[in-house]
Amino acid sequence: MSTERITHLIGGAPWTGVSERTSKVYNPATGEVTGELDLASAATVDEVVKVAHDASKAWAQTSLSKRTQVLFAFRELVNQRKEQIAALITAEHGKVLSDAVGEVTRGLEVIEFACGIPHLLKGGFSEGVSTKVDVYSIRQPLGVCAVISPFNFPAMVPMWFVPIAVACGNSVVIKPSEKDPSAANAMAELWKEAGLPDGVVNVVHGDKEAVDRLLEHPDIKSVSFVGSTPIAKYVYENGTKNGKRVQALGGAKNHMVVLPDADLDLAADAAVNAGFGSAGERCMAISALVAVEPIADELVGKIKERMATLKTGDGTRGCDMGPLVTGPHRDKVTGYVAAGVESGAELVVDGRDGEFDGAADGFWLGPTLFDKVTPEMSIYTDEIFGPVLSVVRLPSYDAALDLVNSNPYGNGTAIFTNDGGAARRFQNEVEVGMVGINVPIPVPMAYYSFGGWKNSLFGDTHAHGMEGVHFFTRGKVVTSRWLDPSHGGLNLGFPTHD
């Protein structure tokens, strides 16, 4: 099978240089190599940042009406090409097609939010703060913004940031995951088709070398990173050390607490959907189910029943769950299953024994369920990022809350209960950034902001919503007085109102 060369998109055109280093892109459902990806050197990053920097000047001066027209056109194109983008995602990531379409749809919401940029950028105005003196505030673009994204949402995560950065008048350099790079290129081509001037959105592919150069380049003004916690911390520390604005979203261990009064059928559906959707490769996946006794036996039984109906296979064949993203990642997750057994957890469903509707060399692992997991086991402590759901049995709401709050991650959590008072207490007491009440994957809509607490986010700004608009702009306050001969004169005191 022939492999496609995948390269950077700089100033609206594919890069024409010769790369010293490349990496392989796989179709996870077949195990075949489908692409050879150019990995940028520091010099190539410099090339792309220069193009972005040059383009940023005119774009920052482009009227809000013109910018909005481009955003509306981009929204239409992404909506029309949803299926094609989804097919690219499935071919490189492995998630099933319907889930890939869902990813693009959630990204579209952010474009729609950014279409309202004239309203979102309105400043304040105070007339007559002092005699004939007015004060107003404006927000201006930063310049060139870097967006570094993970493999698990190759279209949606860049869309959390890029439409807002562009709407605010910035240029962008996207550095996608090297595991599934094609969706970012396809989206960049749609920006061009939508009428965005060349150089405002660029894609540079690469690994640590490219990321390190983006973190130190003087013309990169902000870094929006999403990925695992150790790399998020590294990006935050190095980016801020170099004077950049950084929002670095990291890993997760999301708990779903089920109280004894919950609707157990609803809870079992939610646990299966949120535990195994996208093969557990979601930062908002549920990986720890906390069953508050005495309902654990019944709940585990219901989850097991539902798991028996799931079909794992090639994402293009109408299955429920696809393969894992790469062979090494599948092996790492399988290693956690072995470690779970070794540490004494009860393996209720073993995904290693599954039947898979796909090629023999695909990166397969079926849905896996552990019961009687305890907090010191590695299947509980680590972010596995695979289709492995661990049930922890606890005696009370207080013990469940303690467990969630003691966890170093704080991305998402959910509580299942029919008791409004308990739900309200949980939303108030839990130390997690995104909370679901009878909703297992509480990903906020685009007009709210997405982000976790503790080791799930470094920096103080979450993604999209008004926090996104603030992140991609700098505030300025203007105090103005138009000449009035009656108001002159010397006064060396600190200005006060008169």
Number of residues lying near ligand NAD (CB under 6 A): 27
Of 119-127, 137-145, 205-213, 262-270, the window that binds ligand NAD (rule: CB under 6 A) is 205-213
In the list 110, 211, 246, 391, the residue contacting ligand NAD (rule: CB under 6 A) is: 211
Cα torsion through 241, 171, 59, 37, rounded to 10: 150
In the complex, residue closest to ligand NAD by CB: 227
Maximum Cα–Cα distance across the chain: 88
Kindly tell me which of 40 and 349 has the beta carbon lying closer to ligand NAD.
Answer: 40
Annotated catalytic residue, options 115, 168, 283, 319: 283
Contact flag: residue 149 with ligand NAD (CB under 6 A): yes
Give yes or no for a contact between 264 and 301, defined as CB atoms under 8 angstroms apart. Answer: no
Within residues 426-455, the interface with ligand NAD by CB under 6 A covers 452
Which candidate, 417, 416, 415, 457, places its Cα nearest to that of 433?
A: 457
- What's the Cα-to-Cα distance from 498 to each of 40, 127, 361, 478, rounded to whole Å? 59, 14, 79, 18
Q: Which H/E stretch holds residue 44? A: helix 42-61
CA atoms of 156 and 101, how far apart (whole Å) = 10
User: Nearest approach, Cβ of 153 to ligand NAD (angstroms)?
Assistant: 6
Within residues 216-235, the interface with ligand NAD by CB under 6 A covers 226-228, 231
Give yes or no for a contact between 426 and 433, defined as CB atoms under 8 angstroms apart. Answer: no
Within residues 257-296, the interface with ligand NAD by CB under 6 A covers 283
Contact flag: residue 103 with ligand NAD (CB under 6 A): no
User: Nearest approach, Cβ of 305 to ligand NAD (angstroms)?
Assistant: 29
Give yes or no for a contact between 43 and 11, defined as CB atoms under 8 angstroms apart. Answer: no
Tell me, what DSSP letter sits at residue 196? P
Contact flag: residue 397 with ligand NAD (CB under 6 A): no
Kindly tell me which of 32 and 382 has the beta carbon lying closer to ligand NAD.
Answer: 382
Contact flag: residue 385 with ligand NAD (CB under 6 A): yes
Q: Which H/E stretch holds residue 314? A: none
Which candidate, 99, 101, 86, places its Cα nearest to that of 186?
A: 86
For residue 295, the SS3 value is coil
Contact flag: residue 312 with ligand NAD (CB under 6 A): no
**Binding flags for ligand NAD, 452-481, as an x/- string (CB under 6 A):** x---x-------------------------
**Residue 145 a catalytic site member:** no
In the list 35, 141, 150, 354, the residue contacting ligand NAD (rule: CB under 6 A) is: 150
- What's the Cα-to-Cα distance from 208 to each of 106, 205, 212, 234, rounded to whole Å? 28, 10, 6, 11
In the list 90, 152, 182, 312, the residue contacting ligand NAD (rule: CB under 6 A) is: 152
- What's the Cα-to-Cα distance from 423 to each of 59, 262, 419, 440, rounded to whole Å? 47, 11, 6, 13
User: Nearest approach, Cβ of 176 to ligand NAD (angstroms)?
Assistant: 6
In the list 12, 28, 250, 315, the residue contacting ligand NAD (rule: CB under 6 A) is: 250
What are the residues whose beta carbons fall under 8 Å from the beta carbon of 74, sequence distance 6 or more?
111, 163, 190, 191, 194, 196
Contact flag: residue 94 with ligand NAD (CB under 6 A): no
Which candidate, 107, 81, 435, places its Cα nearest to that of 257?
A: 435
Of 82-90, 161-169, 170-178, 192-200, the window that binds ligand NAD (rule: CB under 6 A) is 170-178
User: Nearest approach, Cβ of 342 to ligand NAD (angstroms)?
Assistant: 24
User: Nearest approach, Cβ of 177 to ligand NAD (angstroms)?
Assistant: 5
Long-range CB contacts (within 8 A, 24+) of 195-199: 195/69, 195/70, 195/73, 196/70, 196/74, 196/166, 197/55, 197/58, 197/59, 197/62, 198/11, 198/12, 198/13, 198/55, 199/10, 199/11, 199/12, 199/51, 199/52, 199/54, 199/55, 199/171
* β-sheet bridge partners, residue 140: 474
In the list 177, 254, 287, 449, the residue contacting ligand NAD (rule: CB under 6 A) is: 177
CA atoms of 438 and 266, how far apart (whole Å) = 8
**Binding flags for ligand NAD, 119-148, as an x/- string (CB under 6 A):** -----------------------------x
User: Nearest approach, Cβ of 298 to ligand NAD (angstroms)?
Assistant: 30
CA atoms of 226 and 451, how far apart (whole Å) = 10
Kindly tell me which of 66 and 208 has the beta carbon lying closer to ligand NAD.
Answer: 208
In the list 207, 216, 350, 419, the residue contacting ligand NAD (rule: CB under 6 A) is: 207
Contact flag: residue 92 with ligand NAD (CB under 6 A): no
Residues that bind ligand NAD (CB under 6 A): 148-153, 157, 175, 177-178, 207-208, 211, 226-228, 231, 249-252, 283, 383, 385, 411, 452, 456
Q: Which residues are catalytic?
A: 283
